[in-house]
Amino acid sequence: MTDETPPTAPTAPAAGTSGTRAEVQSFRPRVGAARRVARAAAHAGAALLVLGVAAGVAVLDESVDRPAPVEAGADAVSVPPAAVRLVCPGGVRLPTEPVPGEDVSYDAQFDPSPEDAVERLVAVLDGAGDAGVGPIGGDTTGLDVAEDAGEATLEDVDGGSVLEVVPEDVVVAAGVVTASVGSGDLRGITAAGCVRPAAEQWLVGGGTSVGSSARLVLQNPGRTAASVEVDLWGPAGPVELAGAPEFLVPAGSERVVLLEGVAADQRRVVVRVTASGGLVGAYVQDSELRGLVPAGVDHVVPGAAPSTRQVVPGIDVPTTEVEGADPALLRLLAPEAGTTARISLVGPEGVVRLPGAEEVRLEAGTVLDVPLGGLAQGGYTAVVEADEPVVAAAMVTRGRSVGRTDGVRTDPVDRAWAASVRPGGTSAVALPSDVPGRLVLGVVEGDGPRVVEVGVRLLSTGGGVVAEGTVTLTEGRSTTVGRAELLELVTGEEAAADDVGRVAGVVVGTDDERVAWASVLTAPLPTGDVVSVIVPTPALESRTEVAVALR
């Protein structure tokens, strides 16, 4: 490009001015010249018309030879594997806000963490690849990864973290953040796995009624800001949030919104988070107080998107009466259209039908809780089928007053939310070493053999594999096994205490789409047991070759 000004078309003199002879001639040619130009244009148009007809005849002539088309192939080009990020939740925090509906802020003089909280992040890796773990917005620190597995532990979990994995082929990576609190408003144990950021996430659980808090945390581990829209449903249908329903989450940071400040007095809620401009992670810290008595705390993590079939594993319950206090429950929502949901529970002794709740009517947009009281002790897997898409999750409880029928609820209670999952495939969980845990493996009814074998790998805290083998499961049943029992099933030998203590993660692989599983953590406290549920993280897939087509 140059700085010269392009020539402009000549303009006529303004009215009332004479202009020079040259100016007048350039603007309005003489009549004779105009006629000559018109005749020349007419002859040229006729010539072009003849040429166009001739060209059309040539095109229609099938005898004209045409070059054969050249087929371009597609070559496979090797590319470096792309890094995959999993965003991990933070620990539990006391909810506060300066003005109702505004973002959460904390007074610098006070620590929002519970005084006796013990928080840890444990990450495991299975396969060939590199990994790192660090805070959101910061660089990940390198992990020493063995040939088969690696493990990293962060004792200080201030906020959300990022587990970054660079796989060479297919790698199973999982992380879990646990927070144990022995007393106070947030008494209990929370355990939530790291998840892949997404454009849409469904969080089924929590409430904003008096005494309850639903602390929504939006995490953006990316390099660009993300705009997040929040939709919420309650017992009476869709809820209009106070203020704008969109929130800007800057790159490499997290934003916290108290849902009770924008949607108060909702006994039960379902939240949809939709992001644009970047992918985000999201979870809800659900907690409740009954006066001065803590009634549980847990993280609500994303579950499966709306579908006509939902599977919820890890429903581990004590023996309760049908009318007992604080029973486990199943939360359902049909977001778009009303439908009838058919519910069955796959338990230790087979499929259990809920008396009076085998089929429940779901009105469009209304959140419904189905109590699960009256079940025998054990682990269950819920199956929900409907003609219209639904979302689902389950809540389990622990405490001295759980199941009581005398109406007295003066003892602390803990709660845990289990999200729905996509059955089958390969997935993993990381396990904290300081909290006892067990797996609930269920095989729902469907097309396939009665007996199912799944592959299991137990990952070590020091790198490597403690054991690997197969475990036999039965259709229509849920099997609950602890770490020691699982190790014995895999190896066929009595488990040594040292080997049990080395297990930091479990990988389950199967092609059978009827298999769903989760990990349940329980711990005794002087005031009653506490509980949490970890749903597995699907295997990561990284393409190391792409097809390039030449055209």
| Angle of CA points 512, 513, 519, to nearest 5° | 95
- CA of residue 181 relative to chain centroid, distance: 26
Residue 30 has pLDDT above 80, yes or no: no
| CA–CA gap between residue 104 and residue 261 (Å, rounded) | 10
What per-residue confidence (pLDDT) applies to 421? 97
- The answer to whether 72 and 551 are in contact (CB under 8 A) is yes
pLDDT digits (tens, 9 = 90+) for 174-207: 999 999 998 889 999 999 999 999 999 999 999 9
What per-residue confidence (pLDDT) applies to 62? 45
Residue 531 has pLDDT above 80, yes or no: yes
What per-residue confidence (pLDDT) applies to 123? 86
Segment 308-319 shows an average pLDDT of 96
What per-residue confidence (pLDDT) applies to 340? 97
Residue owning tokens 């979870």 = 283
pLDDT digits (tens, 9 = 90+) for 362-376: 999 999 999 999 899
Q: Per-residue confidence at 276, pLDDT binned at 50, 70, 90? A: very high
And the tokens for 437? 């845990």
CA distances to 4, 53, 102, 112, 297 from 285, rounded to whole Å, are 65, 76, 17, 13, 7
| CA–CA gap between residue 368 and residue 518 (Å, rounded) | 23
What per-residue confidence (pLDDT) applies to 189? 94
And the tokens for 99? 């003005």
Q: What percent of the chain has pLDDT over 90?
A: 54
Decide: helix, strand or coil at residue 540.
strand
Q: What percent of the chain has pLDDT over 70?
A: 75
Residue 142 has pLDDT above 90, yes or no: no
Bigger pLDDT: 40 vs 229: 229
Burial of residue 354 (number of CB atoms within 10 Å: 0-12, 13-18, 19+): buried
103-124 burial, b for 16+ CB within 10 Å, e for fewer?
ebebeeeeeebbeebbbbbbbb
| CA–CA gap between residue 254 and residue 360 (Å, rounded) | 38
Residue 322 has pLDDT above 90, yes or no: no
Q: Per-residue confidence at 144, pLDDT binned at 50, 70, 90? A: very low
Residue 3 has pLDDT above 50, yes or no: no
| Among the listed residues 295, 299, 293, 370, the one whose alpha carbon sits nearest the alpha carbon of residue 332 | 370
Residue owning tokens 């486990």 = 328
| CA–CA gap between residue 30 and residue 25 (Å, rounded) | 7
Greatest CA span in the chain, whole angstroms?
A: 114
β-strands 84-88, 74-78: how paired? unpaired
What per-residue confidence (pLDDT) applies to 337? 97
| CA–CA gap between residue 86 and residue 449 (Å, rounded) | 35
What per-residue confidence (pLDDT) applies to 264? 95
Averaged pLDDT of the chain:
81
| CA–CA gap between residue 16 and residue 3 (Å, rounded) | 35
| CA–CA gap between residue 289 and residue 213 (Å, rounded) | 9
Residue 521 has pLDDT above 70, yes or no: yes
And the tokens for 480? 């609950």
Segment 208-231 shows an average pLDDT of 95
**Number of other residues whose CB lies within 10 A of the CB of residue 209:** 17
What per-residue confidence (pLDDT) applies to 231? 97
| CA–CA gap between residue 326 and residue 485 (Å, rounded) | 30
And the tokens for 398? 């622990």
What per-residue confidence (pLDDT) applies to 196? 94
What per-residue confidence (pLDDT) applies to 50? 39
Q: Per-residue confidence at 304, pLDDT binned at 50, 70, 90? A: very high
Q: Which range has highest mean pLDDT (52-56, 174-178, 278-282, 321-325)?
A: 278-282
Bigger pLDDT: 408 vs 425: 425
Segment 155-165 shows an average pLDDT of 72
Residue 80 has pLDDT above 80, yes or no: no
Residue 49 has pLDDT above 70, yes or no: no
- The answer to whether 427 and 454 are in contact (CB under 8 A) is no
Count H helices and E strands in the chain, helices first. Answer: 5, 37
The total number of residues written for the chain in this structure:
551
Residue 45 has pLDDT above 60, yes or no: no
And the tokens for 31? 């009549």
Residue owning tokens 């080395």 = 502
